[in-house]
Chains A and B, each alone.
Chain A
Amino acid sequence: MLISYNWLKQYVKLSDSLTPEELALKLTMSTVEVEGVEIQGKNLENIVVGEVKKVEKHSDADSLQVCSVNDGSTDHQVVCGGSNVVEGMKVALGKIGSKVKWHGEGDLVELTKVKIRGIDSHGMICASTEIGLGELFPPKDKKEILDLSDLDLKVGLPLVKALGLNDAVLDIDNKSMTHRPDLWGHYGMAREVASLYHKDLKKYNSSELKKGKGLVIKVENKDQKLCSRYMAVALSGVEVKESPEWLKQKLIAVGLRPINNIVDVTNYILMDLGQPMHAFDARQLETIDKTGHDKRITVRRAENKEEFTSLDGSEYILDDSMLVIADEEKPVALAGIIGGLNSEIQNNTTTIIFESANFDATTIRRTATKLGIRTDSSTRFEKSLDPNNAELALKRAVELVLEMCPEAKIVSNIVDEKKFSLYAGPIELSLEFLNKKIGIDLEKKQVINILESLGFGVKEKKDIFLVTIPTWRATKDISIPEDLVEEVARIYGYNNIEVKLPEFPIIPPKRNGLRDLERQAKDIISMEHGYTETYNYSFVSPEWIKKMGLKIEDHIELDNPIAKDRPYVCTTLLPNLLENVEKNMHYTNSLRLFEVGKVFDKNHSGVRAEEKSDELLPRQDLMLTFVYSEKGSKTPFYEVSEVVSSLLDKFGVDYELKVSKSVSKSMHPGREAEILVGSLSTDVQGKEVIGFISELHPQVQIDLGIDERVGMVEINLNNLLKYVKDKMDYNPLPLYPVIERDIAFVVDKTIVHKDIENSLREVDEIIKSVELFDVYSGENIDRNKKSMAYHILYRSDDKTLESNEVDKIHKKVVKVLQKKFEANMR
């Protein structure tokens, strides 16, 4: 919202030495955020009212004229491209040394004497946009210069003086005052300013309304909850015309375009008191009787599918959650939001009906949102306005119309349908509580002064203040002692409060295991294994769910997704990670990506939705998911499996891989495994699956547009956490040397390494390690066979082994391999 400095001064006397910028800072620090201050007429030095004495064609350019412009004492030759320049015209003359924006764009440029197409030009005849007056004098076309002839200005006067441009406009961030309905007009803002500078606030004067004769307005309020007050009065003898200069200037200053005196008055009240009003053309309201003397206005909910055309010509379909103002036949206004085209003030309107009302904030907000209309009126009503303001506004509006139109008079009864009550307190506030919360030592007198300056009533009862709330703060803003703490502290000055540190006992905070695990896992996978962390959105598209072979019905759906194509909440991080793979593999040869994030499991329950309710939220476990793909890597499964091994080893977790029965259709059925943890001595039943290792199904991989095989791992960190051991095992350093023997053999392809390793480890206790170092299939090997080679380390804990002792056990090894795995030694 724009606030005019001069307008404020109408209500509060400010020191001449105070600058608008200082006021802006004060307001920002105590009340609302001022985003900028625009000083009117800034940079208008050396620009004066000039009179065009002579206009001649430029000899060398068709679109230019050579003008002689008088500045009150001398004539200046100026080359001008203005389309509308004529002799006798009063113009804004930019003399040498003045600053302008060429064609209203770019930075300010200081004028110097120049030659334009061979002819000297001493200055410039300015367009409004070139000197920052575009809003005040909107040009009709680009080449139009500012024509001041109508304004009866003295030639030679500096433009700033001639136009009375001495205001400053404060641009207030609307978001910073959503909780302050009282600040949406200049009078309310002036009250703050008066309080901040210890000045008096002028009383808001308006004369009483006296009912007149001719018309009877009957208002039927069908929904007092949505409309707590409805006031109306008719004026006839109104002459719709241009507003007086003072009014136009005020509206322009705060960014409103003057339209006609009646509309301008309602806009003035809007900006003055923050109370939206509406003026109807009385002719357009259907009457009850044939005489046209009885006007009935109904405040009612719209009918479903009722049509309404607003005064800007837009058409809307309404529903019964919305409130309208209607005559006998049709809605004439969308209550508190916008007037109807059918009852708009015309140039020949002579009888008007003013509406000044109060509407329910939520209804206004919801209607405005639903229909996509935001007006100055709806913006204010949705803040919960003080219904008392409606009366003040109506009185002042009538007063202004009567001033402007000498023929006008009230010709109706004064309607005031109201039903409202506001909580006025008193709030009990103790000085001790106040000082304790703020952290200062204020005296009673200071507190009383601050509260009273803001309009609060204060009575003392021992050490307690009984504080009554002024109506304009009582609609929603102030109701508890803490609210008063804010009032006192901000006027006192937040930054006058001494900055301190609280005294706390020195105790280390509790650690969160999951958070620690997450951090360690991220470190290991990124720092040790070269994986790069990515963040993806939590939302997925139905296409990807299908591509991944997951079920739509397992997914939670958003009611109002922003990306319409991604309405589902993820149950796995894989789809988005695979999308990353697809995109990145176009410009890299190898990719290692991981993400840690929550997934949302509709089918399992998580924490409580409320402390005392049995409702449980969906389970939201933290997943560590990673993918690996590299040009030429045929079995990335092993690479990612190795990472799992290193990771779980770091956490002291023993695990087993079990061939899994297809986690989803997107997995390679021959290359997927579940990661089992738990007590490994018991059977599979006692173990828990904490994740899987797999490769992307080759067909899915092609469908997704990925050229290379992709290894994928998902580990549920919530589940893993239960098995993480703080203390790792340690083995004392061996005392006796180790003897290494290698063994190579050919076995059937179905034989798995883990079984061989386990069997060999069991052969004898001097076998300390069985390490696979080569697997080969291809030339010279049967198609169903593979060659495997192991390092076997022998060591005794009691003595140095003799070669023949090792030979004996090694023979056993060969036997086991032959017997159990039908291995052919190489």
Chain B
Amino acid sequence: MQEKLKKLKTNALKAIEAVKESVALEDLEIKFLGRKNGEMTSLMKGLKDLKGDSKKAFGQLANEIKTAIEFAFKIKKEELNTLEIAKLLKIESIDITQPSLPKKERGHLHPITQEMRAVEDVARTMGFIVEDGPELESNYYVFESLNIPEYHPARDAQDTFYIKDNPDWCMRSHVSNMQVRLMQKYGAPLRAAHPGRVFRNEALDTTHGHTFYQFDAIVVDKNLNIGHLVGVIKEFLKAIYKKDVEVRIRPGHFPFVEPGFEMEMKVVFGKGKNAKTKWVEIVGCGLIHPNVLKEGGLDPKEWDGFAFSLGLDRLVMGKYQLEDIRHMHSGNIKFLEQF
């Protein structure tokens, strides 16, 4: 009996040694160690016929041999596994430059939306409420409340779209229509940005649109002066451009501010030796006209304010070097998908 065991061991170890694939190894495991008909199991069945010491000795030997065979299987399994994984890895090497198929379409946000958000977020972090209002607006909020009297050139039909059968309404020609609305709604002190879509009766060409986007903001508080206006807008621009900026102001005329300014920023064009700096108009601004504060229900003796306005289209045009402003409203997927 013990001889049989020893022979089994020799056979098993030899067979294990010879195996090349894990499937064959599994078969072998069943053949030798299978619980039902494995050779080991069959031999072990003879145990019940033995007694006493020989039973004990046989049992001990059987256990040793079983452990040895199991160990051999384990080692072989690991060995084969390593080999097979190595083979698999070799077979499975892929073209890493190939895209995932079929192509998955991504969505895109309009460049104006992206720019609007960037600027809006700057405004919020600086404590500004951000709010829009009517695009079809009364002449009162677009003009009268902003110190633009009836016969002012800015109200001419060649600049503003008016509404048929209601001469007191128009498509707002600037987002400043929100200035007095916001003052009436929130009172003072106030920090509010009011970006949005505006309309001008202008012929379309590569740099002019009849529909465009402004980002305006007002600050109403006590003891505000020109130095504050420059300081706040400068911080604003620094955050938008994510770098330090150099600015200066020069006279600019808007009826709803007094004094009014054009703020210019120093911009570098070109690179290296050919780099040139130029002052570029970037923000229209000014101290809020006392008449406008009055319309907003505020006493100009008590409150000061300043307002500023950025053209979002121009920011986008500059950022991407767009050749034609009309692309913005073309609905052309080839344009929109680039953002």
Contacts and interface: CB of A to CB of B under 8 A. Distances in A.
Interface of A: 28-33, 176, 178-179, 362, 365, 369, 382, 436-440, 480, 482-483, 485-486, 489-490, 494-495, 497-502, 504, 506-510, 512, 515, 519, 522, 525-538, 556-563, 567, 569, 576-577, 579-580, 583-584, 587-588, 590-593, 597-598, 600, 606-607, 609-611, 615, 617-618, 620
B160 to A, nearest CB: 8
B138 interface: yes
B227 interface: yes
Nearest to A606: B134
A509 B193 CA distance: 11
Would you list the 5 A-B pairs with minimal beta carbon distance, nearest first?
A439-B225, A526-B107, A486-B259, A439-B227, A580-B331
Given A509-B191, A617-B134, A482 B290 contact: yes
A530 B106 contact: yes
B130 A527 contact: no
Contacts of A510: 129
Given A559-B167, A562-B161, A534 B331 contact: yes
A482 B224 contact: no
Contact of B134 (A437, A485, A607): A607
Contacts of B201: 560, 562
B253 A560 contact: no
Given A527-B107, A537-B329, 8 more contacts: A30-B251, A501-B235, A509-B130, A558-B161, A558-B164, A598-B197, A610-B138, A615-B168
Interface of B: 104-110, 112-113, 117, 124, 127-138, 140-141, 151, 153, 156-158, 161-165, 167-169, 171, 184, 189, 191, 197, 199, 201-204, 210-211, 219, 221, 223-228, 230-232, 234-235, 248-253, 258-262, 287, 289-290, 297, 304, 328-329, 331-334, 336-337
Contact of B226 (A365, A494, A579, A620): A494
A533 B211 contact: no
B106 A600 contact: no
A550 B235 CA distance: 49
B227 A500 contact: yes
Contacts of B162: 558-560
A369 B201 CA distance: 14
A557 B329 contact: no
A609 B137 CA distance: 7
A557 B106 CA distance: 37
Contacts of A562: 161, 201-204, 210
A501 B231 contact: yes
A105 to B, nearest CB: 24
Contacts of B117: 519
Contacts of A440: 227
Contacts of A530: 104-107
B331 A576 contact: yes
Contacts of B110: 533-535
A632 B32 CA distance: 59
Contact of A369 (B156, B221, B252, B334): B156
Given A530-B105, A576-B331, A498 B163 contact: no
A498 B210 contact: no
Given A480-B290, A494-B261, A535-B328, A559 B137 contact: no
Contacts of A30: 250-251
Contact of B227 (A498, A531, A532, A588): A498
Contacts of A519: 117
B157, B161, B252 — most chain A CB neighbours (10 Å)? B161
A282 to B, nearest CB: 35
Nearest to B336: A532
Contacts of B199: 538
A35 to B, nearest CB: 12
B163 A609 contact: no
Contacts of B226: 437-439, 489, 494, 497
A476 to B, nearest CB: 10
Contacts of B250: 28-30, 33, 494
Contact of A617 (B109, B161, B167, B169): B169
A583 B332 contact: yes
Contact of A522 (B113, B164, B211): B113
Given A509-B191, A510-B129, A515-B131, A588 B225 contact: no
Contacts of B127: 504, 506-509
Contacts of A438: 225-227
A620 B136 contact: yes
B107 A529 contact: yes
A204 to B, nearest CB: 25
A436 B301 CA distance: 12
Contacts, number: 232
Contact of B232 (A501, A527, A598, A600): A501
Contacts of B248: 29, 494-495
A704 to B, nearest CB: 14
Nearest to A487: B259
13 contacts: A33-B250, A486-B258, A501-B235, A512-B130, A515-B132, A525-B107, A530-B105, A559-B157, A559-B167, A600-B136, A615-B168, A617-B134, A617-B136
Given A560-B161, A584-B333, A499 B230 contact: yes
A501 B236 CA distance: 11
A583 B335 CA distance: 13
B287 A482 contact: yes
Contact of A176 (B108, B135, B161, B251): B251
Nearest to A512: B131
Contacts of B106: 530
Nearest to B151: A362
A141 B226 CA distance: 56
B164 A532 contact: no
A497 B227 contact: yes
A537 B211 contact: yes
A437 B225 contact: yes
A579 B191 contact: no
Contacts of B227: 438-440, 497-500
Given A437-B225, A535-B329, A502 B253 contact: no
Contacts of B332: 583-584
B130 A558 contact: no
Contacts of A31: 251
B204, B235, B249, B251 — most chain A CB neighbours (10 Å)? B251
A436 B223 contact: yes
Nearest to A558: B161
Contacts of A382: 153
Nearest to A617: B134
Contacts of A597: 197
A662 to B, nearest CB: 27
Given A490-B259, A617-B136, A500 B157 contact: no
B210 to A, nearest CB: 5
A609 B140 contact: yes
A579 B332 CA distance: 10
A507 B332 CA distance: 42
Contact of B253 (A176, A528, A538, A600): A176
B38 to A, nearest CB: 34
Nearest to B124: A509
Contacts of A590: 105
B138 A617 contact: yes
A629 B309 CA distance: 39
A539 to B, nearest CB: 8
A362 to B, nearest CB: 4
Given A482-B259, A526-B107, A609 B333 contact: no
Given A535-B329, A611-B184, A502 B161 contact: no
B44 to A, nearest CB: 38
A372 B259 CA distance: 33
Nearest to A583: B331
Nearest to A531: B107
B63 to A, nearest CB: 40
A559 B230 contact: no
B231 A500 contact: yes
Contacts of B329: 535-537
Nearest to B107: A526
